[in-house]
Amino acid sequence: MQKHYLQDLIEPVVEKAGFELVRVMTIGQANPTLQVMIDVADHSRDLTVDDCAEVSRKLSDVLDEKDPIKEKYSLEVSSPGLDRPLTKPEHFQRFCNYVIKVETSEKVENRKRFKGMLLRADDKEIVMDMDGVEYTIPYDAMTKAKLVLTDELWEEYQAAHEAVEL
């Protein structure tokens, strides 16, 4: 998967604050939004709004100083959500036995779109099951990958979080 041109500037700031950079993306042309998705590095707790605000302030300082984006833009720091993007081998390894979607830049086994159970992942490729057929997809061929929000994923999330009374 391709790296965003600002990733090398953003990632050290995010990591120094104790978080993991999940994805950097620019959305829009006129007045673009620089979208930065982060997560708690050790996955010991959920990411909070305060965490996002802290990282946003730190990134703003660096981006203002280095000024890598010449036009007016907005900075958005957020959590990856339940249907999170998968952008690193570690993400795929962490989410084995979950349903994922993958898009590739070139055909892999005569397809460019895949949706199925992630079986295995190493540092070079993943293996996923689609309707009983296993597909091996190298990371280099991927353009997009994400978890699919399923009933099982939602139930697992709910079980891990106490009910909040409003």
Tell me: the pLDDT tens digits for 34-87? 999 999 999 889 999 999 999 999 999 999 998 888 889 999 999 999 999 999
Domain boundary among 16, 51, 78: 78
Tell me the sheet residues that pair with 118: 128
Same domain, 67 and 11: yes
What residue numbers bound the domain in which 56 lies?
7-78
With bands split at pLDDT 50, 70 and 90, how would you rate the model's confidence at 157?
confident
- Strand pairing category for 33-40 and 74-78: parallel
What DSSP designation does 85 have? B
Same domain, 63 and 93: no
Q: What is the percent of the chain where pLDDT is above 70?
A: 97
Domain boundary among 55, 78, 101: 78
The pTM assigned to this predicted structure is: 0.86
Instruction: Let me know if residue 84 belongs to a domain.
Output: no
CA distance 80 to 47: 9
Span 147-154, average pLDDT: 91
pLDDT of the residue at 105: 95
Span 125-153, average pLDDT: 96
pLDDT of the residue at 164: 55
CA distance 5 to 7: 6
